[in-house]
Chain A
Amino acid sequence: MKHGSLFYRWVFYGAAAGLCLILQSLLLNRLRLWGIHPFLPPVLIAVAAAQEDRQEGLCAGAVFGLVCDLTLSPVVPCFYALTFALTAFLAGLMAKQLIVPGFFCGLCASILALVVNGAFHALFLTYRGIGNLSAAAAITGCELLLTAPLIPLVYLLFRPIHRRFQAE
Chain B
Amino acid sequence: MKQFFSKNGILLLTAVTIVAVLMCVVSAVSNGTGILHNVAGIIASPFRAAGSAVTDWVGDVRARFETVEELQRQNEELRRENARLQEENRQASTDREENARLRNLLNLRQQRRDFVLESAHITEWSSSNWASTFTVGKGTTSGVAIGNCVVDEYGYLVGVVTDAGLNWATVTTVVDTASQLGALVFRTGETTVAQGDLALMNQRRLKLSYLEDESSLINGDLIVTSGLGGYYPANLVIGSVEEILTDDSGLTRYAILAPKTDLSALVEVFVITDFTVVD
Interface residues of chain A, those whose CB is within 8 Å of chain B, are 1, 3, 6, 22, 24-26, 28-29, 34-37, 39, 41, 53, 55-56, 58-59, 62-63, 66-67, 69-73, 75, 77-78, 81-82, 121, 125, 130-132, 134-136, 138-139, 142-143
Q: Are A73 and B203 in contact (CB under 8 A)?
A: no
* Bound complex: CA A134 to CA B34 (Å): 33
Q: Which of B7-66 contact A (CB under 8 A)?
A: 9, 12-13, 16-17, 19-21, 23-24, 27, 34, 36-37, 40-41, 44, 51, 54-55, 58
Q: Are B127 and A136 in contact (CB under 8 A)?
A: no
CB distance from B134 to the nearest CB of A (A): 9
Q: Are B129 and A39 in contact (CB under 8 A)?
A: yes
Q: Are A121 and B130 in contact (CB under 8 A)?
A: yes
B240 contacts chain A at the CB level, 8 A cutoff: no
Q: What are the residues of chain A within 8 A of B34 when measuring CB–CB?
A: 77
Q: Are B4 and A62 in contact (CB under 8 A)?
A: no
Q: What are the residues of chain A within 8 A of B172 when measuring CB–CB?
A: 73
* Contact A139 B129, CB 8 Å, known A53-B2, A53-B5: yes
Q: Are B198 and A36 in contact (CB under 8 A)?
A: no
Number of A-B contacts (CB under 8 A): 118
The interface size bin for chain B is 35 or more
Q: Are A130 and B177 in contact (CB under 8 A)?
A: yes
Q: Are B203 and A35 in contact (CB under 8 A)?
A: yes
Q: Are B177 and A125 in contact (CB under 8 A)?
A: yes
CB distance from A11 to the nearest CB of B (A): 15
Please pick, from A59, A66, A134, A139, the residue contacting B130 in the complex, using a CB distance under 8 A. A139
Interface centre among A71, A136, A143 (most CB of B within 10 A): A71
* Bound complex: CA A4 to CA B9 (Å): 15
Interface residues of chain B, those whose CB is within 8 Å of chain A, are 1-2, 4-6, 9, 12-13, 16-17, 19-21, 23-24, 27, 34, 36-37, 40-41, 44, 51, 54-55, 58, 124-131, 133, 162-163, 170, 172, 177-178, 196-199, 201-204
CB distance from A132 to the nearest CB of B (A): 5
* Bound complex: CA A68 to CA B1 (Å): 26
Please pick, from A28, A63, A72, A77, the residue contacting B23 in the complex, using a CB distance under 8 A. A77
* A136 nearest in chain B by CB position: B198
Q: Are B1 and A6 in contact (CB under 8 A)?
A: yes
